[in-house]
Structure 1
Amino acid sequence: MRAVVVSEYGVLPEVREVPEPVVADGSVVLKVEATGLCRSDWHGWMGHDSDIVLPHVPGHELAGTIAAVGAGVSGWAVGDRVTTPFICACGSCEQCLAGDQQVCPNQLQPGFNYWGSFAEYVAVPYAAVNLVRLPDDMNFATAAGLGCRFATSFRAVHQVGKVVAGERVAVFGCGGVGLSAVMIASSLGAEIIAIDTNSEALTLAREYGAVHTIHASADTVAQIHELGGAHVTIDALGSNDVVQQALQALRPRGRHVQIGLLPSGVNLDVGRLIGQELTWLGSHGMPAHAYPEMLDLVANGNLNPQQLITRTITLEETPAALAALTTATPAGVTVITP
């Protein structure tokens, strides 16, 4: 099969022929119909993830059709249209049995622990707890964006951040995760403040429900407080500077939700965290069993993740698009069609 192969961190990957994945007991192999290009893939390519072993195939946001079914997998057949969370949980540990597959200690992540979906085929382990059947009218490009950015934002905003109507939510970073958070929080009736350095991204944020947009600067916190301060802040980028601004922008007893990865760590103003009784919340993906609520909202038109897709590229265009994330994040979501 053709795949995007990383042979050296930070060096442009190449598209080449590699062996197809072999279906294992309890797993399936998917023919990849669409896969998202995410900043997490960039982090992996840059060597920020210790689980990656070179040579490596990135890609963790995916949708496709089942091409092979392993022994012990029931209820699924070749040709079924599916997606999967980027966290493939084991299904049998204490966390999984409690319904918390997103923090499974035995999890496997395509594109990190093993070869991912920047390829024509990809394996999905522990199929019984990780496959999500797609609605017949949902296209693969839309479904691919659900597995990481949109599903992650849905859980972060709705289930972890518990955003409710009337709250003021400041979203820092309007890439795929941030724009998803804007759309989801707006659908819940929140007043959205979107912050980014990219004017095009801020324009999209307004289209997806942001009431206020702020071009990130040294005055960002002051501008948020002029609007009344935030009940909830979301770091959808992953930056020490953003974290500090997000905490400073909160009203007393506000909630901060951290989605963006922080590979270099972060320094917290613990005094402010205590004195203002702020809450710091981490959110990491969403388990397969939680998808139906999100899919129902998409089906009835309350959420429109397909609107986030601004670019579709081929495998051959993927290495350059991955490298381009070093200097800028394009507005909206980029989807790859192998």
Structure 2
Amino acid sequence: MNHSQTPTDVRRPVLEVEDLSLRRVGSANPASLVQSVSFDVRHGECLALIGESGCGKTLTSMSVLGLLPSAISVAGGAVRLNGTDILGSSEAEYARIRGKSIGAIFQDPMSSLDPTMRIGDQIAESRRIHLGESRSDASRRAVELLDRVGITNAKSRLGSYPFELSGGMQQRVMIAAAIACEPDILIADEPTTALDVTVQAGVLDLLRTLQAELGLAVLLVTHDLGVVADFSDRLAVMYAGQIVERGATREVLDELPLHPYTKALSASVMQTARAHSILPTIPGRVPSADEMPLGCRFQKRCAFADPDRCSQPQEEVPVGHARTSRCVRVHEINNLEVLARA
């Protein structure tokens, strides 16, 4: 990271995704798989992109990294990193960006780390490629990074292979590799899902500390509302390839979810204070790529659906300061709920 940034640089978003649309190659459905997704992430903050499996959040993050599968094509939009549009860059250009300007942590460290390389070499490699450091300097920096992420006896661990480490230690190695060149933004895609609860808490504490120390912008991709509540500043809720609600995390999760999907998602989280209660579920499933409707994509699963109004394309409706909901009935639904509680 460039620590000589001016105040103007800091105020500008590190990452801006604008009207991003992704389409499945060969699909006859006019509705895009990911439809007009927009968000930004600034220095020192965490934006959580949340939703159930199949909602498009990982595809969105992979488009930022230039790692979309061959079956998915970009139908439109822009992805700006520090003001420069990188969407559609060549593989050589993406290779210069990944690791240096954008760090990435993935769900399963064992499948992301090279099993044939010692962990010290995997961390040092990024600094040698992007910063031109010598092997000895990069190795010395790798020791510092391992120590920074809480790996004990860091120097002696340089020669270890990934399979010799626990899952939590592997994830810490991935974090060390991701921040090796002090990137501007860190994309964390389900970074704690494969870990047990106590290890998960330690990894989140580590990420929080590193974010504060480095001024990192973080894009957190997850379905875990507990992680979102604990770590993010703002959130964008995705459903079937669209952002259906956005706002400050505390307002959305602690006060009042506005969109019917966010309400259902929040209600599906187990309430530990309610012993022997039945956990609510959301009926149905996320529509497949060839089933995406042109109207509200949540309509078939929504308890508040109005066949006439919800069959039309839905726009994001502003609701208060920096909050939106993609629901034509948002004011009506939430006014009714307020009256019912009075």
| Fold shared, TM-score > 0.5 on shorter chain | no
Structure label with greater radius of gyration: 2
TM-score with structure 2 length normalisation? 0.27
